[in-house]
Structure 1
Amino acid sequence: GTLFTRNSGKALPPSCFFLRNSSARSGKQRFGRLVLGIETSCDDTGAAVVDEAGCVLGEALHCQKEVHLQAGGIIPVVAQQLHRENIEQVVQEALCASGVSVAELAAVATTVKPGLALSLGVGLQYSLSLVNRHQKPFIPIHHMEAHALTIRLTHHLEFPFLVLLISGGHCLLAVAQGVSDFLLLGQSIDIAPGDMLDKVARRLSLRKHPECLSMAGGKAIEHLAQTGNQELLTFRLPMQQYRNCDFSFSGLQNLVNNAIVQKEKEEGIQEGEILSCVKDVAAAVQHAVTVHIIQRTYRAMLFCIKNGILPSKTATLVVSGGVASNQYIRKGLQNLADANDFALLCPPPRLCTDNGVMIAWNGIERLRAGLGVLHSTAGIRYEPR
């Protein structure tokens, strides 16, 4: 019972609450059925109401970035507690902003995999309580599929298309062939690119750098790299000899760490102090990550065209995930797409990171296709992996 009581004691920091499209009460047009989407797979609590036309009627998002930034990483039990404290308010704000009551919803869609077990549990428990109370259908959502299909909310894109998802927790290449039909071409065999960039930023102590005080790790690397010389250091790229589309970033990270130790020795400084060549290191690291991503994506493109998996006339590469907002990486992918006659599409940055909108939209897609809409909540589990 007490899990979902409103957290009135602790006020939410305003900086962390984004409420968008809030003036829904002014007679917003709705089209077809409505789905409430709920996202708690990692460290963002998100909710949104979307209609069949892909119109976002209302949404709310609570991000935990500040808390985890101070801890130097996501601590699952802390993330769980923050989801618990905020989920009721986030869902209510999304409903309120959309001017929609739970009774008017066609279904509730919630991320059930993959993600942090403790975080997923909060969203699922809340959602099941909601659908059972109001007798609504429930649509379990695969987080990565939701990312992959977000582009169909913002662009009229037909299946099939190639998807590259690059974020702090994920890295994969797949062909979206239908609403629940995905052909996995490759994925990271160790860590994700965003995770690697964050770790390198931490090793470089970028939070102490005057230009990067409040920036997340990947953002700090991108910022410093703009004025760095990427040719100062070169790193051997991973997976060169593997004839597949998989990625690997942990070996690259070790090479980078060794290079940092070497530079610290040369400059006579301790770990924790800022290297004078920090911008050059940032530029070299960002370049290596970009080239690796481009090489693997190029292999996927060739494979798809050669095997007739994608139509060569209208082949499209969709890039999403938090790392997709890195402008250097995006420019590299744009050049790759242009050189191979692929169109490149990216959702807007706010839909590239975790949010409730993509979950609600995936719910709409599944509702329309009649796929995975459950009328009984018995036996539904979350699956962290």
Structure 2
Amino acid sequence: MRVLGIESSCDETAVAIVNEKRERIVELVLSQLKEHRPFGGVVPEIAARSHLTQLDRLIGQALEQAGLAANDIDAIAATAGPGLIGGVLVGVTMGKAMALALGRPFLAINHLEGHALSARLDPGVGFPFLLLLVSGGHCQLLRVDGVGRYRRLGTTVDDAAGEAFDKGAKLLGLGYPGGPAIEQAARRAAEAGLDPKRYGLPRPMLGRPGCDFSFSGLKTALRQRAEELAVEGRLPERERDGLALALQEAIAAVLADRTANALDLVAATGGGLTALVVAGGVAANGRIRQALDEVARAKGLPLVAPPLGLCTDNAAMIAWAGIERLQSGQAHADGDGLDFAARPRWPLDPTAPRAAGAGVKA
């Protein structure tokens, strides 16, 4: 079984071909960093137009590199939400067109399910596991009992951790994308011996019951501290790096604390987990992996994280999610149908109540 995956939910145009043996036959990701960097963030219209311009060429390139003809593909899987709806529509329309032309099943994949199952593609993990899904638009803790079986234990009441990284980097003048920029600046600060506690940034929700997150207050505190430390309207480089370190430490501490609560909650209701899994773009941050590894070890579980290329948005996880759905009977043999509508929002656990004060990204 060879499935071609298409990912276009944000600012990466990605195509991959994956088989049921977990072999990633070809993976292509076209970044849009140059287009969005002048704006300090993703501009939806620019992203959608770039997907529209590049996707057809990228699919042809993927088939050529794999040495396959289009007829060698057994199914087409495309991200159908959640995400920036213009980009999602581009990918879904292309996927449907290919499926119709080739007479193959079309699989409408939840982008979050792609992240959730990415650790089963590489390195491979068994059900059930606790998932911390942490990215620019999402911050959730979910118990994953199987394909299509997700129970949300916690979510953000306002902003996601990845947004805190991006907005923090923009505020500090570190550029875009914010996550890698913050991590690099934090590393410089740590090597210089700076103490993150000196900056007094809060750690929202730390020590409270439950598994929900909050990061908007942390961003506000960062802005206030940056203004206090500025000299003649400019933030000294040393203080900038120190604030980046303090921000990263605060986010890592909050993620670890809320994840520990979720693990305790699962243990109290039967346990049986195989691992703690972290996925999503923020999972690429080394300090956060370290903090979560400490939590997992304390609870007697391994921390499982996909390779860095599977943490950020990619099409291999979309193709693999399609394979998982087909193999588990979560998708009909003839696919989801060409009338499936793209969705800007699509929760993995539709029964979970929205956290108090939560925005649309929760």
Q: Is the 8 A contact 1:59 1:93 kept in 2?
A: no
Alpha-carbon separation, structure 1, partners of 2:302 and 2:222:
33
Equivalent residue for 1:379, pick from 328, 336, 339 = 339
Alpha-carbon separation, structure 1, partners of 2:207 and 2:246:
22
Structure with the greater alpha carbon radius of gyration: 1
CA shift digits 1:135-192 (9 cap, x unpaired): 1111110111111111111134211001111112221111111111111111112111
What is the root-mean-square deviation of aligned Cα atoms in Å? 1.6
Equivalent residue for 2:6, pick from 35, 38, 47 = 38
Specify the code of the residue in structure 2 equivalent to 1:165: L
Equivalent residue for 2:232, pick from 269, 273, 279 = 269
Alpha-carbon separation, structure 2, partners of 1:376 and 1:363:
11
Asked if 1:162 corresponds to 2:133, the answer is no
Alpha-carbon separation, structure 2, partners of 1:382 and 1:358:
18
Unaligned runs of 5+ in 1: 1-32, 208-214
Asked if 1:341 corresponds to 2:303, the answer is no
Alpha-carbon separation, structure 2, partners of 1:216 and 1:105:
34
TM-score, length-scaled by structure 2: 0.90
Specify the code of the residue in structure 2 equivalent to 1:258: Q
TM-score, length-scaled by structure 1: 0.84
Q: Is the 8 A contact 1:196 1:249 kept in 2?
A: yes
Equivalent residue for 1:203, pick from 171, 190, 209 = 171
Asked if 1:324 corresponds to 2:283, the answer is yes
Asked if 1:223 corresponds to 2:207, the answer is no
Q: Is the 8 A contact 2:41 2:177 kept in 1?
A: no
Superposed, which structure 2 residues align to 1:104-253 within 5 Å?
104-207=72-175, 216-228=177-189, 229=194, 230-240=196-206, 242-253=208-219
Alpha-carbon separation, structure 2, partners of 1:297 and 1:167:
15
Alpha-carbon separation, structure 1, partners of 2:327 and 2:73:
14
Specify the code of the residue in structure 1 equivalent to 2:240: V
Identity of aligned residues (%): 36
Q: Are residues 378 and 37 of structure 1, via their aligned partners in 2, closer, same or farther at CA, if it must alter by over 3 Å? A: closer
2:309 alignment counterpart: 350
Q: Which has the higher contact order (CA 8 A, sep 6+)?
A: 2
Asked if 1:302 corresponds to 2:264, the answer is yes
Alpha-carbon separation, structure 1, partners of 2:171 and 2:140:
25
Alpha-carbon separation, structure 2, partners of 1:356 and 1:218:
21
Cα distance, 1:275 vs. partner? 4.8
Cα distance, 1:376 vs. partner? 6.4
2:253 alignment counterpart: 291
Alpha-carbon separation, structure 2, partners of 1:147 and 1:176:
12
1:257 alignment counterpart: 223
1:6 alignment counterpart: none
